[in-house]
Amino acid sequence: MIFFEHHGMEESEYFQVFPLRYTHFPLHLHRAYEIIFVREGTADVLVDQKEYEVSPGEAVFVFPHQLHAITTSPEAAVTIVLFSPELIGHFYMNYKGVVPEQNKVSFRRLPGPDEQDAVYAQKAFLYDLCSTLVQETGFTEVKYSPKTRTIHRMLLFVDAHFHETCTLQAAAEELQYDYAYLSKLFLQMTNMTFTQYLNHYRISQACYQLKNTEQPVGDIAAACGYQNLRSFHRNFHRMMHVPPGKYRDLP
């Protein structure tokens, strides 16, 4: 799944490509690097509170544990590449503890069949992008405030519990923070209430499953934490502007 914090931890050299159409992914983070390539249309990508408008021929290079979100135009087509730090170990060790001053980069081509199947082709493709990043921007030391670290923990809580009953009260108890404080902080940092974020997160997970599995819609709804199928359909249509079945059939 595209949001899971354990991306990049399942195996030492993890590389996966996700072609996607019109979509919205709420704020998330993970240990893996993520590169968001825009093939058609435009995408608005938020990385650590910096906003980037991305057009065809451009990409956003997200470092491990950077908070990021993506919203595309209706006609947009993007390709997302997730890969473990170990796959570019030399670059990872040299740039550990820093993040790009500018996450948006140019790119010459998208990953092809060779990169998806052969580890040395993957490394060559990624190191070429790393070289482009180094040429186009500087780097700054990672300095996350206590508030940002708390948001990190809250997002990871959602990632771990979105498929079951998931409440702000439970998050407050697990993180050992005051409920009212977390409620206010979450709204301040994400411009969403905890419940709104949870619904966006669940629907985004459902979008991924609809496009990448053949599971029935009802099973996907249940796997994403919806006990009521009607609520799932209502939230899905409100966020994606089409029913789940039609979304699955979109090219």
pLDDT in tens, 148-182: 889 989 998 998 999 999 999 999 999 999 999 99
CB 227 within 8 A of CB 234: no
Flag the least confident range among 7-11, 112-116, 239-243. Answer: 7-11
Percent of the chain with pLDDT over 90: 60
How far, in whole angstroms, is CA 32 from its chain's centroid? 10
CB 181 within 8 A of CB 175: no
Burial class (CB in 10 A: 0-12, 13-18, 19+), 120: exposed
Find, among 236, 75, 202, the residue nearest to 244 by Cα: 236
**What is the average per-residue pLDDT within 208-228?**
92
The answer to whether the pTM exceeds 0.85 is no
Distance CA 105, CA 96 (A): 19
Give the side-chain half-sphere CA count within 13 A for 132. Answer: 19
pLDDT for 11: 46
More confident residue, 24 or 140: 140
**What is the average per-residue pLDDT within 20-45?**
88
Q: How far apart are the first and last CA of the chain?
A: 20
Counted residue by residue, the chain has a size of: 251
CB 154 within 8 A of CB 182: yes
**What is the average per-residue pLDDT within 91-100?**
94
Strand partners, 81: 17, 35
pLDDT for 4: 43
Domains of the chain: 15-141 (2.60.120.810), 146-249 (1.10.10.60)
- pLDDT of 2 > 80? The answer is no
Report phi then psi at 84, rounded to 5.
Answer: -75, 150
- pLDDT of 12 > 70? The answer is no
More confident residue, 6 or 74: 74
Flag the least confident range among 8-12, 161-165, 186-190. Answer: 8-12
